Amino acid sequence: MLFLLVCLPFLGALAVYPASRYLHIHPSLVSGLTATLGLILVIHNGMAVYEGDLLLNQQQWMPAIGLSLSFRLDGLGLLFAELILGIGVLVIFYARYYLTEAEAGPRLYAFLLLFMGAMLGLVLAENLLLMLVFWELTSLASFLLIGFRRQDAEARQGARLALFVTGGGGFALLAALIILGQIVGSYELSDVLTSRELVANHPLYPLILVLFLLGVGTKSAQFPFHFWLPHAMAAPTPVSAYLHSATMVKAGIFLLGRFFPVLAGTDLWFYLVSGMGLSTLLLGAYYALFQHDLKGLLAYSTISHLGLITLLFGLGTPLGEVAAVFHVINHAVFKASLFMAAGIIDHESGTRDMRKLNGLFKYMPYTAVLAMVAAAAMAGVPLLNGFLSKEMFFGETVALSWLGEASWHWLFPLAATLAGILAVAYSLRFIHDVFFNGEPRDLPKLPHEPPRWMKVPVEILVVLCIGVGMFPNYTVRPLLEAAAGAVLQQPLPEFSLSIWHGFTPPLIMSLIAMGAGIALYGGRKWVISVHDRLPLQLNGKWMAERMLESLFSFGAKIDRLLDNRSLQRYNFLLLISAVAVGAFALQGETLFGSGEATPASIPALVGGFLLAAGSVTTAALHGRRLVAVIMLGLVGLITSLLFAYFSAPDLALTQLLVEIVTVILVLLAMYFLPQTTPPVSNLGLVSRDVLLGIVAGIGVGILCYSMLMQQGESISSYYLAQSKPGGGGTNVVNVILVDFRGFDTMGEITVLGIAAVGIFAMIQGLVLKGPRQDWRGGAWARDPHPVLLVTVSKLLLPIALLVSVFLFLRGHNEPGGGFVAGLVTGVALILQYIAEGSDDTRPRLPWNYLGLIGAGVLIAVLTGLGSWLFGFPFLTTSFTYVTLPIVGKFELASALLFDLGVYLAVVGTVLLILSGIGGLSRREREA
Amino acid sequence: MELTLSILIGTMTASAVYLLLRARTFPVVLGLSLLGYAVNIFLFASGGLTRNSAPLVEHGLKNLPDPLPQALVLTAIVIGFGMTAFLVVLALRALRDLGDDRVDGGGEE
C-alpha cells in the first residue's frame, strides 16, 4: 500500500507528457489528480496512525547489502506526507494559473511530480539506504526544478549551486547512515530507532553526528551552508513556493526529527545542533531585512525559520520537539502562501523589487489582505498560527536559561527575542513597503487583481493560518501529537495550545519583539545605510563557486598530466598499472604450493622452444611485417600442437582453423598497410618498453607457475559425471558449450556477431590505396587466378564441406561441434574467394552474411526459448539417438539445433569479415 | 613441465607487451594476437596438464583432462579472432581517416 503510494507520483510523472501530447489533457490536471489521490490515500491510511499504530510495509530488494523496499507510516511521516501532498496540490493548482502553457508545459508538472515522489519516498522510507536513494533523488529533482528556465544563466547557476551543496551534503549523509547501520547491524529504521544506547556510546558517535549534520545542514540551508537557497529563487515562483515552504528545505529538518530518538540527548548534539540553529536563525533574520527582492526576503526568512526549528530540535527537551514539529507545520503553511502572494504581485506588476513596489493596496486590495495575514503569521502576531509556535519557542528558551545548567544559557532567550524583533521588522517591510508607503514607481505593468482562481490556493492557506491560530486544539492538535510522538518515541509531555497563558515571560518577549520590531522598521533607512556600509559581506556563493572552479581546474590538471591524447601512452599506463596491481596482489602470498611437477619430455621442450623463439622473433622483427606474420603463424600452429599434446583435441582443431583465418586476415590487411615499420630512433623508449615487457612476462610466469603448483579439487568432476546422463553427449567440452554453459555460448556468439557488425560498419565506404610495388621494390604480382589454386580449391570444396558436416554431427560425442565445423566451412569458402576472386565467388554464395549471423543467434535463442514450451528452464536440452551410416549412432538433441545456431554465426562472421576486407581491393581497382 | 610452460607463457607475454607498446598499428595487432595465445594457454593450463587423453567420457572417467577450461578457451579463441579482425579493420579505417598508420596519429615515437 505505502509502496504504491510512493510509486504514484512517479507514475503520474510518466503519464503527464503522453496525456498532454496525445490526449490533450492539461498536464496540471494529471498531476493535480495524482497528488489529490495521493493525499486521499495518506489521509485514509493516517486514521490508524492517530490511534498510535505504525504501518510497516516490508519487502526485500537487495538483502545482501541490507537494502530493502520497506516503508513506514508513523506520525512524523504522516505529517510530512500530508504537507508534501497537500501543499503540492495547491502549488499545482496555482501553477496552472500562474504559468502560461508555453512557460510550463508538461515538463514542469512532470518534474514537480518527480520531486513529490522523491520527497514522499524520503519521509516514508523505513530502510536507511532506501531513504538515501530518495534523498539523492530530491537533490536531483530540485536541480531540475530550480534550473527549469534553462535559457536563464542565473537559473542554471542557482541550480548548479544547489546541487553542489546539497549533493555534497548527501555524501556526508551517506557515510553517516552507513556507519549508523553498521553499528546497529541493521538498516531498518525500526531497529535503528531502538538502539540509542548502542549508538550514543559508540566511539564513532561524534563522527556520525558531524556527518549527519553536514547532510542536514546543507539541505536545510543552515549556516554556513545557507547561501545556496537565495540563489535557488531563480526558479519559477510555484516551484519556490513548493521547495522552500513544505518540502526540499524541510527534508533536513525531517531527518533531525527522524533520527532524534537515536542521535539526540548528548551534549554534542545540544552544542552542534542548537549552535547551528541559533546562528542560522539570527543570520537569516538579519539578512532578510536588507533584501530588496520580495522573494529574496522570503528566502532569507525561510533560512531564519529553518534555523529556529533546528534550534528547537537542538534543545532536546520534549516540549521543544513539540514546538519544532508545530513550527514545521506553521511555517509550511504561511510561507507557501507568502511565496504565492509574492508571485501574484510579480505576475501582476512585473517586478519584485520593493524599491519600486509601493502602495499596491489600492490596486489589489484583496490580495493585499491575504498577504498581510500571512505576513502577520510570519511575524508571530496573536490569533495566527505563527504566534503559537513562536510562543512555545520563546517559552523553551526561557525554560532553558532558568534551568541554569550553564551561566551563558541566558543568551538563548536574548537571541530568540532579537530574532523576533527582526522577524517583525522584515514582515512589516513586506506589508508596508509593498502595499502602502506612497505610490508605485515606474512599474512595468499597471497592477491589478489576479484571476480569481489564482487566489484560491492562497485563500485556503490563509484560512489555515487563522484556523490553526484561533482554534489549535480542534484543528492541528491530533496531527501534532501523532508527529511529535513519533519524534520523541515516548509519551508526550503535557502542553496546552492556547492563545492566552497569562502574563508570562514568552508573552513579554513577544511584546518586546513587536514594539522593537516596529521601531526597527521605522528606522529602516538608517539601518539599511549602516548595513550597506559594512565592510564585511559574507558571500557564500562566491566562495562555493571558487571552490568548484579550483576543483575543476585541479581535475583538468590531473587530466592533462595523464592524457596527452596519445593512445600509445594510455597503453603504457594501462599495462604498467596492471603489472603494479598484480605485484601488489601477490605480495606476501605463499606463491608455490606443494603440487607435484610432471617431468618434461623432449617433444614438449622442442615445441616450447619453438614457441618462445617464434614469439620473440615476432617482437624483434615486427619491422619486417611479412616475416613477423609468418612467425606469428608459427606461434599459432605450435599453440595448436600444444593443445593436442595436452589432451585437448577440440582446442587444437579450433586453434588450427582460427590460425588459418587469422593469417589470411592479416595478409589481406597488409596489402593496404605500409609493408614495413620505420625504425624507431628513440632507444630509451624502446628499452623502457622492453623492460616493461620483461617485468610483465616474469610476473605472468610466476603467476602461472604458482597456479600450476597448487593442489585442489576442480569443479569439473560434476561435468564429467553428468555429461552423458544429463547432456546426452560424451564430448564433455561440447556438452558444456551447448548445454551446461549454453547461456555463455549464446552470449559469445552474440559478441562475435556484434564484432562482425562493427567491422561491417567500418568497411562501409572505405576506399584504400594498395601498394604499387613490394617491399623490396619489385613489381607487385597481379595474377588473379592461379591455376593450381583454382583446381585444388575446386576439388577441395566438396570434401571440406563434407568434413564440416561430419565434424558438426559428431561434435556431441567426439571432437568437433558447431564452432569447429563453422570454421571449416568458413575456411573452405574463403579459399574459393582467394582462388577465384570475389567477383566470381560472391554470386555463387547468395546469402546475406549479416543475415546469416542474425539467423544463427536467433536459432540459438529460439532453441533456448523452446524449452519453455515444455515447461523447462531456458536452454534445457532434450535428446534422442539416431543412427546414420558412416557417422554412426549420434544424438539428435535440441542442443544440436543450438549448435547449428553457433555454426551459422561462425560461418557468417568469418565470411563477412574476410570477404569484406578482401572486397576492399576490388573497390580500390574501381576507384 | 610446469616450469617450462610458465617460462613459455612469460616469454610470450613479454613479447606481446612489447609489441602492444609500439607506435604503429600493425605491431599492436600482432601483439594483441600474441597476448591472446598466451592468455589462452594460461587459462587452458589452469585445468592441469594431462597427457594421452581427451575429455571424452565414452571409456570411463579415469585420467580425464579438465573439460571446463577447454570449453572456455574454445570460445575465447573464436572471440579472439573476432577481436583481432575488429582491430585490423579499425587500423585500416584509421589509415584512411588519419592518413597514417600511427596509433596516435603523432605523439610518442
Residue A93 belongs to some domain of the structure: no
Cell numbers 501532498 correspond to A85
- Do A635 and A774 lie in one domain? The reply is no
pLDDT at A558: 85
Using the predicted structure, report yes or no on whether residue A886 has a pLDDT greater than 60: no
Length of chain B: 109
The C-alpha cell at A569 is 601512452
Angstrom distance (rounded) from CA A889 to CA A885? 8
- Cβ distance B45 to A708 less than 8 Å, yes or no, reads yes
Average pLDDT, integer, range A378-397:
90
Of B7, B19, B37, the CB nearest to A622: B19
Q: Which neighbouring-strand residues pair with A72?
A: A56
Closest CA to A176 of A149, A147, A209: A209
Q: Which of B52, B77, B79, B87 to mutate to test the interface with A (most CBs of A within 10 A)?
A: B77
pLDDT digits 0-9 by tens, A645-657:
998 999 999 999 9
pLDDT digits 0-9 by tens, A424-482:
999 999 998 888 888 887 777 888 888 888 889 999 999 999 999 888 888 888 888 88
If DSSP states are collapsed to H, E and C, what string results for A236-288?
A: CHHHHHHHCCCCCCHHHHHHHHHCHHHHCCCHHHHHHHHHHHHHHHHHHHHHH
- Cβ distance B57 to A732 less than 8 Å, yes or no, reads yes
Task: Supply φ then ψ for residue A589, to 5 degrees.
Answer: -85, 150
- Do A789 and A865 lie in one domain? The reply is yes
Among residues A678, A701, A717, the one where a domain terminates is A678
Instruction: Count Cβ neighbours within 10 Å for each residue of A595-615 and write b for 16 or more, e otherwise.
Output: beeeeeeeebeebbeebbebb
| Chain A, nearest residue to B73 by Cα | A651
Confidence class for position A893, pLDDT limits 50, 70, 90: low
Candidate ranges A119-128, A563-572, B50-59; pick with highest mean pLDDT: A119-128
Amino acid at position A916, single letter: G
**Is A534 part of the contact surface with chain B (CB cutoff 8 Å)?**
no
Using the predicted structure, report yes or no on whether residue A214 has a pLDDT greater than 90: yes
The C-alpha cell at A4 is 504504491
Residue A313's domain comprises: 271-490+501-532
The C-alpha cell at A251 is 527534508
Q: What is the DSSP string of A448-506?
A: -PPPHHHHHHHHHHHHHHHHHHH-HHHHTHHHHHHHHHHHHSSPPPP----S---S-HH
Give chain B positions within 8 Å (CB) of A748.
Answer: 75, 78-79
Using the predicted structure, report yes or no on whether residue A782 has a pLDDT greater than 70: no
pLDDT digits 0-9 by tens, A725-781:
777 778 888 888 888 888 888 889 999 999 999 999 998 888 888 777 766 777 776
Angstrom distance (rounded) from CA A304 to CA A331? 11
Residue A417 belongs to some domain of the structure: yes
Distance between first and last Cα of chain A: 69
Q: Which of A651, A690, A694 to mutate to test the interface with B (most CBs of B within 10 A)?
A: A651
pLDDT at A549: 83
Average pLDDT, integer, range A111-129:
94
Residue A57 is given by DSSP the state E
- Do A834 and A778 lie in one domain? The reply is yes
- Do A526 and A544 lie in one domain? The reply is no
Residues 6+ apart with CB under 8 A from A209: A176, A263, A266, A268, A269, A272
Are the beta carbons of A618 and A631 closer than 8 angstroms?
yes
Chain A, window 871-910: residues with a beta carbon less than 8 angstroms from a chain B beta carbon: 906, 909
- Do A431 and A298 lie in one domain? The reply is yes
- Cβ distance B12 to A906 less than 8 Å, yes or no, reads no
Angstrom distance (rounded) from CA A7 to CA A27? 18
Instruction: Compute the nearest-CA separation of A613 from chain B (Å).
Output: 9
Residue A72 belongs to some domain of the structure: no
Angstrom distance (rounded) from CA A242 to CA A338? 11
Residue A403 belongs to some domain of the structure: yes
- Do A462 and A553 lie in one domain? The reply is no
- Do A607 and A743 lie in one domain? The reply is no
Instruction: Compute the nearest-CA separation of A618 from chain B (Å).
Output: 8
Residues 6+ apart with CB under 8 A from A725: none
pLDDT digits 0-9 by tens, A320-349:
899 999 999 999 999 999 999 999 998 888
- Cβ distance A647 to B66 less than 8 Å, yes or no, reads no
- Do A315 and A451 lie in one domain? The reply is yes
- Cβ distance B49 to A650 less than 8 Å, yes or no, reads no
A855-A859-A860-A864 Cα dihedral, nearest 10 degrees: 150
Are the beta carbons of B52 and B15 closer than 8 angstroms?
no
Give chain A positions within 8 Å (CB) of B88.
Answer: 665-666, 669, 917
Are the beta carbons of B86 and A755 closer than 8 angstroms?
yes
Residue A88 belongs to some domain of the structure: no
Number of domains in chain A: 4
Using the predicted structure, report yes or no on whether residue A256 has a pLDDT greater than 90: yes
pLDDT digits 0-9 by tens, A790-827:
888 889 999 999 999 999 988 888 888 889 999 999 99
- Do A436 and A467 lie in one domain? The reply is yes
Q: Which of B18, B108, B109 to mutate to test the interface with A (most CBs of A within 10 A)?
A: B18
Among residues A646, A678, A710, the one where a domain terminates is A678
Angstrom distance (rounded) from CA A367 to CA A402? 43
Are the beta carbons of B109 and B23 closer than 8 angstroms?
yes
Mean pLDDT over all residues of chain A? 86
- Cβ distance B2 to A568 less than 8 Å, yes or no, reads no
Using the predicted structure, report yes or no on whether residue B108 has a pLDDT greater than 60: no
- Do A570 and A665 lie in one domain? The reply is no
Confidence class for position A298, pLDDT limits 50, 70, 90: very high
Mean pLDDT over all residues of chain B? 86
Half-sphere exposure of A65 (CA within 13 A, CB side): 8
Residue A228 belongs to some domain of the structure: no
- Do A436 and A524 lie in one domain? The reply is yes
- Lowest mean pLDDT, pick from A21-25, A881-885, B54-58: A881-885
- Cβ distance A708 to B4 less than 8 Å, yes or no, reads no
- Cβ distance A597 to B103 less than 8 Å, yes or no, reads no
Of B10, B47, B78, the CB nearest to A654: B78
Half-sphere exposure of B1 (CA within 13 A, CB side): 19
Q: 3-class SS at A147?
A: coil
pLDDT digits 0-9 by tens, B8-59:
999 999 999 999 998 888 999 999 999 999 999 999 998 888 888 888 877 7
Give chain B positions within 8 Å (CB) of A732.
Answer: 55-57, 64, 67, 71
Closest CA to A232 of A132, A149, A125, A126: A149
pLDDT at A804: 93
| Chain A, nearest residue to B58 by Cα | A730
- Do A614 and A525 lie in one domain? The reply is no
Give chain B positions within 8 Å (CB) of A823.
Answer: 78
Using the predicted structure, report yes or no on whether residue A20 has a pLDDT greater than 60: yes
Using the predicted structure, report yes or no on whether residue A538 has a pLDDT greater than 70: no
Angstrom distance (rounded) from CA A700 to CA A579? 9
Q: Where are the extended beta strands (E) located within A624-674?
A: none
pLDDT at A892: 60
The C-alpha cell at A530 is 549602516
